[in-house]
A = this chain, B = another copy of it.
């Protein structure tokens, strides 16, 4: 089936992304019929932090138009510490929140959300090592495989990818979002 036919996803990525998180959700979304574009600070190949995967960035955040995309996905690894230093990447991220379009972040992906200043008042999860940072950025942290708070979907670690994929699918087909405890 192709539940997401005609929809487009932007994946915000840079070198040393977490391997599974940069690959597996994209494979899932493409299986569902979605068109997925890797977007970064510059075009070209970027490597996973474990060196097991590489992906091709085909569009820069400067060129990309947020209006074209139905979903923003932010994988973890070291990539978010590079992306969060780029004001254009942060503005690209903020646009999805302004338009209330789904944003999915896993692991260290939340570092981009911290720097984009979109976390105040949100309930989120992330890799434990940065839980204090998301809290200081104004979010409520919970330790669950996936948390959905309005348009924002967050997960913790690679093992949570199936739960995150499911939450993304539900958000994109318009199902009611869950409100965390």
Contact = CB atoms under 8 A, between A and B. Distances in A.
Interface in A115-141: 115, 127-130, 132-133, 136-137
Nearest to A127: B81
Contacts of A84: 129, 132
Contacts of A137: 133, 136
Contacts of A85: 128-129
A82 interface: yes
Nearest to A135: B136
Contacts of A132: 84, 114-115
A23 B115 CA distance: 32
Contacts of A136: 114, 133, 136-137
Contacts of A111: 129, 133
Contacts of A115: 132
Interface string A79-90: 001101100000
Contacts of A127: 81
Nearest to A131: B85
Greatest chain B CB density within 10 A among A115, A127, A128, A136 is at: A136
A84 B132 CA distance: 9
Contacts of A130: 81, 133
Interface of A: 81-82, 84-85, 111, 114-115, 127-130, 132-133, 136-137
Given A82-B129, A84-B129, A114-B136, 6 more contacts: A85-B129, A111-B133, A114-B133, A130-B133, A133-B133, A136-B136
8 contacts: A81-B127, A81-B129, A84-B132, A85-B128, A85-B129, A115-B132, A130-B133, A133-B136
